[in-house]
Amino acid sequence: MVTTQADWSLDFDIGMNFFEWHAPVPLAHEKQVFDRALKFLLKLQHGSPVRRFNWTMTVNPLLDTSPETYPVWGPDRTTVTPDNMGDKMHLRVELQALFRLPRSNAICFSIRAYLGKFGELVTVPKWGRRLHRVVRDLHPDLAAYKGFLRNRDAMVAWLAQYDDGAPTSPGIWPEEG
């Protein structure tokens, strides 16, 4: 069952092999990311699930941004302005888990999606700084793949007001102070 895919389509991808499915991901093939990922998945053991995070951006708090629902959410990408950026733009973080199933030896892939409104994320100074730097410094091909190239310059300009240039500590927790 698929309920919250972000910019991909199970109907389109069904029947593809691992490399075909991931073909649209820029830069990763040259770095052989998927060769290593496939080797890792093939060694996944029953009883030892793994988790990873993925992220993207979305306009408005929508979980299903699949190609099939593009007529619903696609036009919203043109409605982002500096005045509504904090309310409309959302960071989507996915907690993805992979479980080897005991009887079939298949891999179950689950995705739990979380959405954070820009206006709320920047209330934690460390997160505002980090979000600005990631959006600003991300390779343009990856920004296009993640679907926010159209609004990237406006996002960088809006987020810049929350980046004081201070160093940012590792990890997700707010700075202690």
Q: How many CA atoms lie within 13 A of 11 on its CB side?
A: 5
What is d(CA 26, CA 33) in angstroms, rounded to the nearest whole number?
11
In sequence order, the 6+-apart residues with CB closer than 8 A to the CB of 94 are: 6, 53, 54, 55, 56, 111, 112, 113, 114
**pLDDT tens-place values along the chain, 177 residues long:** 567 778 888 888 888 888 888 888 899 889 999 999 999 999 999 999 999 999 999 999 999 888 898 999 999 999 999 999 999 999 999 999 999 999 999 999 999 999 999 999 999 999 999 999 999 999 999 999 999 999 999 999 999 999 999 999 998 888 865
pTM of the model: 0.89
Neighbouring CB atoms inside 10 A of 118's CB total 24
């043109």: which residue's tokens?
Answer: 78
Letter for the amino acid at 63? L
């079939």: which residue's tokens?
Answer: 104
- On whether the CB atoms of residues 131 and 100 are closer than 8 A, the answer is no
Catalytic positions, written as ranges:
52
């739990």: which residue's tokens?
Answer: 112
- 85-115 pLDDT, tens digit per residue, is 999 999 999 999 999 999 999 999 999 999 9
CA geometry: angle at 126 spanning 27 and 73, to 5°? 55
């994320």: which residue's tokens?
Answer: 121
